[in-house]
Amino acid sequence: MTLTPDEIAAVSDPGEVDRQSHNSADRTVIGLGNILAWLFPILMLVIVGQVFLRNFGRMGIGPGNQAWLDDMQWWIYGIACLMGVAYAVTTNSHVRVDIFYDRFPVSKQRRIDLFALGWLFLPFCILCWDVTFHYAVSSVQAMEGSSSPNGLHNLWILKILMNLSFIVIGLAIFARLTRLLGQEHRDDGWSRFVWALPSVALLINLALFYVLWWATRLTQPELALRAIQRDGYLMGEFEVGPYESHYTVWIALALTAILGGVLYARRAR
Amino acid sequence: MVLLEAIGQILTLNELMVAVIFGTFIVLLFRGVPVAMALVGVALIFYLFALVFLDPFRGAFRDVIEFDRIGIDWRKMGTLPSRLFGNIVQSPVLVALPMFIFMGLMLDQSGVAQRMMQSMQKLFGGLKGGLSLTVLLIGIILAASTGVIGASVTLLGVMALPAMMAQNYSKPIATGTIASAGTLGILIPPSIMLVIMSDQLAISLGDLFMGALFPGLILGALYIVFIVIYGLVRPQDMPVPDNTEAVSWAMVKDVLLSVIPPMFLILLVLGSIFAGLATPTEASGLGALGATLLAVAYGRFSWKVLREVSRSTLNTAGYILGIFLAANFFAYVLRLYGGDEVVEHMIEGVFENPYMVVAFILVIVFILGFLLDWIEITLIIMPLMLPIVQGLALDVPDYGTINDAQVVWFAILVAVTLQTSFLTPPVGFALFYLKGVCPPGVNLGHIYRGIIPFVMLQLLGLFIVFELPWLTTWLPSVAYGN
C-alpha cells in the first residue's frame, strides 16, 4: 500500500485509533475529550481577543485590557490539559522509553501496562482525588475568588473541576485496565483485584473513612467538624511498636484481605 | 545492617536512598513503564517506604549510618493539591504550551511546507546538494514558525526523502539532513521546550525566545555550510539531476511567494513579542490563529482538520502535562529525602571553576540525552540544577536589563545540548519519527551513520554559544531595553 505524502502527514484522530477494542468507559473518556478539545480554538480566540482589546485600548478605542480574560486563559488551559491526561491514557500515548519494550512479546507489554496503570498511576490518582477534594471543599467554604479585582471570580469552580478531572483520569485508567485484562482473557474479579491491589486497598480505606465520618456527623451533630477525625466512630489512633496507626487503616487492610479471599475462592478455574 | 555499616563509611543513608530512588526509576523506565507513571510510582513507593520503615526505625539506622529524618506523614500530603494547582493549573506561561502545539499541527496541515518544497526544489535543483539545502531552509523556516518537532520531521521526511532517493543521494546524508533540520524546531523560537524551561527555571519566556534565536540560526548556518562543503568534496553523494532547468526569475519569484506566508507567521509571533504588542504567551494564541488563517488561505482548512488538530493537541498536551504532574510529585518526595542537596554536593564537589561546573552539567545532559528525551530532562534534571547555576560566579553580560542572565544563558546551553538528544540513538524522537516514514531500502543503520556529522556540528554550535555568552543575552537586552 502506498500513501501520498498528504495522506501520511495528515493528522489522524487519536481517539479513533484502535477503536474496535475500546469499551464503553473508553468511549466515554474519548467522547468527553472530543467535546473539551474545542476549548483549544476557544482559547485561541480568547487570547487574540485580549491582545486586540489591550492594544486598541492603548489607542483609546474600546474597553482595553480585561483581567477576566487573562484568568480565563489559564482556566481553559487547566481544564483542557487535565482532561488531556485522561485522554492520553485511553489513547495509550503517554511517553515511554521503548527500546526494550518494543521487542517484548505482546502479553509482556500488556503486563507492564497493567502494572503501570493499576499499581502506580491509579493509586496516585485516587490519592490526588482525595487531597484535592479537601482542597476544593475548603475553597467552596471560603467562596474563593480571583486575585485581581476584575478577574474571574468563583475560583472554587476551577478547583472543583480539578477534583473532577481526577475522577475522569481514574475512569480512563480503569477502562484501560479492563480492556487490557479482557485482551489477556483474564477479566474475572480475582485478576482485577490482583492488578489493582493498591488501588483497591486505598479505595476501601477512603470509603470506610468517609462512611464513618458521615455516620458520626449524622448521629452526633453536636461534635465539631474537626473533632470527628479524632473522636468519631473508630477514628482513634493506637500505637503498634514504633507506629501510631489508625483503626480505619487496619480495618481497611483486613477488608481488602477478605475481599481478596472471596474473589480467589470464586475465581474461574 | 553489616552492609549498611560498610556503606555508612562513605555515604549517608539519604545519599544511598537518593541513588536507590533514581535506580528504581531507571529500571521501571527501561521496562517500558510510561515516564509519568514511573515517576509517580517511584515517588509513592518511597513515600510509603519512609512512612512505614525508614522513619519509625530511624534510631536503629543511626547507630550504623548517618541519617536525616525524612519527616513524612500523611498530613504532608495536604500540600500536594496547592502545589498541583499553583504550579501547574494556575500558570499563565504554560497556557502557551497547547497553543504552540496547536499552531505546529495546524501549520503542518496548511500545505505551506509542500509549496516551499516545490518552488525551492526547482530553484536549487541545479546545485550540488540542492535538495539537502532545500530541506535545511524549510526546516529553519518551519522551526521559526512552530515549536514541536514530531510533525516537522515526519513532514520533511515524507516530502523530501523520496525525491532525494530518486536523485540517488547517499542515504546517510539524506536522512541526517532531514532529522537535524526537523529538530531545529524545538530550539528556534517559538518552541514548547523553551516554554517549559521558562516555567521550570522561573525566567522570562521572552528572554528565552530572543536568547535562543541567534544560537538556533548559528546551528542552521553550520548545517548549510557543512552541506555546501560536503557537496564540493563528495559530489557523488549528492548528485545533480540530469535534466535541470536554468535558473530563471520566475523561479526566484515562486520561491519568494512561497516563503512569504511562513514569514508572515514568524513576524506575527516573534514580531509581536519584540514590539511589545503581546506577551510570549499571547503570541502563542496569535500564532495559532495565524496558522489557521494560512490553512484557510491555502484551501486546506475544513472543520474536520480543525477538529482533528484540536484532538491531537489535547492528546499531546495531555501526555506532556501528565509528566508535569508526575515530576512535580516526584520532585517533592525527592526533596523530602534531601535529594536536592545530595545532587548539589555531588556536582559542586567535582570542580572549582564555575565554567567547568556548567560544562560538567552539559556533559551529563549530553549523556542522558542518549537515553532520555527533552521532556524528562527539562522536568527532572533542570530544577535540580537551578540552585547550583544560580550560585555560580559566571561572567554573563546582562546589559543591565536581563534578570538572571546566567540562568538564561545556561538554559540556552542546555537547549542546544538537547538538540543532540533528538538525534542520538537508542532513544531519539527524530530518529523514531523518521524511521516511521522511511521508504524501503533506507534502514536504521543509514540513519545512525547520517546523524554523526550533525551531532558533531551541534556540539560545535554548543561550543560557540558557550564561548560567546553575548550571543545569547544581547538580543533579549535589545528587545526589552527600550
State chain A's mean pLDDT as an integer: 86
Sign (positive or negative) of CA dihedral B59, B61, B65, B70 = negative
Q: Are A66 and A148 in contact (CB under 8 A)?
A: no
Q: Sorting pLDDT into bands at 50, 70 and 90, what band is A1? A: very low
Alpha helices by DSSP H, chain A:
5-9, 24-36, 39-58, 67-90, 106-114, 122-142, 155-183, 189-195, 197-219, 225-231, 247-266
Q: What part of B 226-265 touches A (C-beta under 8 Å)?
A: none
Report chain B's C-alpha Rg in angstroms. Answer: 24
Q: How far is residue B209's CA from residue B201's CA, in Å, rounded to a whole number?
A: 14
Q: What part of A 144-163 touches B (C-beta under 8 Å)?
A: 158-159, 162
Q: How far is residue A206's CA from residue B271's CA, in Å, rounded to a whole number?
A: 53
3-state secondary structure of A237: strand
Buried b / exposed e along A243-262 (16+ C-beta atoms within 10 A): eeebebbebbeebbeeebee
Residue A177, pLDDT score: 93
Q: How far is residue B348's CA from residue B352's CA, in Å, rounded to a whole number?
A: 8
Backbone φ, ψ for residue B190 (5° rounding): -70, 145
Q: How far is residue B193's CA from residue B182's CA, in Å, rounded to a whole number?
A: 14
Contacts of A115 in chain B (CB under 8 A): 33
**The Cα angle at residue B396 between residues B391 and B402, in degrees rounded to 5:** 90
Q: Which residue of A has its CA nearest to B314?
A: A84
Residue B150, pLDDT score: 67
Residue A3, pLDDT score: 44
Q: Which residue of B has its CA nearest to A146?
A: B90
Cβ of B277 within 8 Å of Cβ of A51? The answer is yes
If residue B331 lies in a helix (H) or strand (E), which one and from where to where? helix B303-336
Backbone φ, ψ for residue B168 (5° rounding): 65, 35
A202 touching B (Cβ < 8 Å):
no
**What's the rounded mean pLDDT across residues A251-259?**
92
Q: Are A80 and B315 in contact (CB under 8 A)?
A: no
DSSP string covering A113-168: HHIIIIIIIHHHHHHHHHHHHHHHHHHHHHT---SSTTS---HHHHHHHHHHHHHH
Cβ of A87 within 8 Å of Cβ of B318? The answer is yes
Q: pLDDT tens digit string along B140-191? A: 888 877 766 666 788 888 888 888 888 888 999 999 999 999 898 888 888 8
Residue B480, pLDDT score: 66
**The Cα angle at residue B418 between residues B32 and B354, in degrees rounded to 5:** 120
Q: How far is residue B371's CA from residue B38's CA, in Å, rounded to a whole number?
A: 15
Cβ of B84 within 8 Å of Cβ of A132? The answer is yes
Residue A119, pLDDT score: 94
Q: How far is C-alpha A168 from the chain's CA centre?
A: 5
Query: Residue A76 pLDDT > 90, yes or no?
Result: yes
| Alpha carbon of B417: minimum distance to chain A alpha carbons (Å) | 20
Residue A11, pLDDT score: 55
| Alpha carbon of A267: minimum distance to chain B alpha carbons (Å) | 28
The pTM assigned to this predicted structure is: 0.89
Residue B482, pLDDT score: 43
Sign (positive or negative) of CA dihedral B461, B464, B465, B470 = negative
**What's the rounded mean pLDDT across residues A161-181?**
94
Q: Which residue of A has its CA nearest to B425?
A: A99
Cβ of B37 within 8 Å of Cβ of A242? The answer is no
| Alpha carbon of B40: minimum distance to chain A alpha carbons (Å) | 7
**What's the rounded mean pLDDT across residues A205-226?**
85
**CA atoms within a 13 Å half-sphere pointing along the CA-CB vector of B279:** 16
* Length of chain B as a residue count: 482
Q: Are B328 and B84 in contact (CB under 8 A)?
A: yes
Q: Sorting pLDDT into bands at 50, 70 and 90, what band is A2? A: very low
Q: pLDDT tens digit string along A108-143? A: 999 999 999 999 999 999 999 998 998 898 888 888
Work out the percent of chain A whose per-residue pLDDT is above 90: 47
Q: Are A228 and A216 in contact (CB under 8 A)?
A: yes
Angle of helix B150-166 relative to helix B130-143, nearest 10 degrees, comes to 170
Q: What part of A 1-40 touches B (C-beta under 8 Å)?
A: 5-6, 8-15, 33-34, 36-38, 40
Residue A38, pLDDT score: 96
Q: How far is residue B26's CA from residue B91's CA, in Å, rounded to a whole number?
A: 29
Amino acid identity, position B448? Y
| Alpha carbon of A10: minimum distance to chain B alpha carbons (Å) | 7
A81 touching B (Cβ < 8 Å):
yes
Backbone φ, ψ for residue B263 (5° rounding): -60, -40
Q: How far is residue B469's CA from residue B409's CA, in Å, rounded to a whole number?
A: 7
Report chain A's C-alpha Rg in angstroms. Answer: 24
Beta bridge partners of residue A238, listed in sequence order: A245
Cβ of A97 within 8 Å of Cβ of B371? The answer is yes
Q: Which residue of A has its CA nearest to B426?
A: A99
If residue A246 lies in a helix (H) or strand (E), which one and from where to where? strand A243-246
Q: List Cβ neighbours of B228 (8 Å cut-off, separation of 6 or more).
A: B129, B133
Q: How many CB pairs under 8 A join A and B?
A: 241
| Alpha carbon of A266: minimum distance to chain B alpha carbons (Å) | 30
Cβ of A116 within 8 Å of Cβ of B34? The answer is yes
Query: Residue A149 pLDDT > 90, yes or no?
Result: no
Q: How far is residue A228's CA from residue A131's CA, in Å, rounded to a whole number?
A: 18
CB atoms closer than 10 angstroms to residue B52: 14
Residue A95, pLDDT score: 82
Q: What is the dihedral of CA A194, A199, A205, A206, to 10 degrees?
A: -150
Query: Residue A36 pLDDT > 50, yes or no?
Result: yes
C-alpha distances out from residue B203 to B34, B228, B365, B410, Å: 29, 38, 20, 11
Residue A8, pLDDT score: 46
Work out the percent of chain A whose per-residue pLDDT is above 70: 95
**CA atoms within a 13 Å half-sphere pointing along the CA-CB vector of B340:** 12
**What's the rounded mean pLDDT across residues A246-255?**
87
| Mutation for A interface: B27, B28, B35, B37, most A CBs within 10 A | B37
Give me the tens of pLDDT residue by residue for chain B, a chain 482 residues long.
Answer: 778 878 777 788 888 889 999 999 989 988 889 999 999 999 999 998 888 888 788 888 888 887 877 777 666 677 888 888 888 888 888 899 999 889 988 888 888 888 888 888 888 877 878 889 999 999 888 887 776 666 678 888 888 888 888 888 899 999 999 999 989 888 888 888 999 999 989 898 988 999 999 999 999 999 999 999 998 888 888 888 776 677 788 888 888 888 898 888 888 988 888 888 888 889 999 999 999 999 999 988 999 999 999 999 999 899 889 988 999 899 888 888 888 888 888 887 778 888 999 999 999 999 988 888 888 888 888 888 998 898 888 888 878 778 888 999 999 999 999 999 888 887 777 887 788 778 878 888 888 899 999 999 999 999 999 999 998 888 888 876 54
How far from each other are the two terminal CA atoms of chain A, in whole angstroms? 45
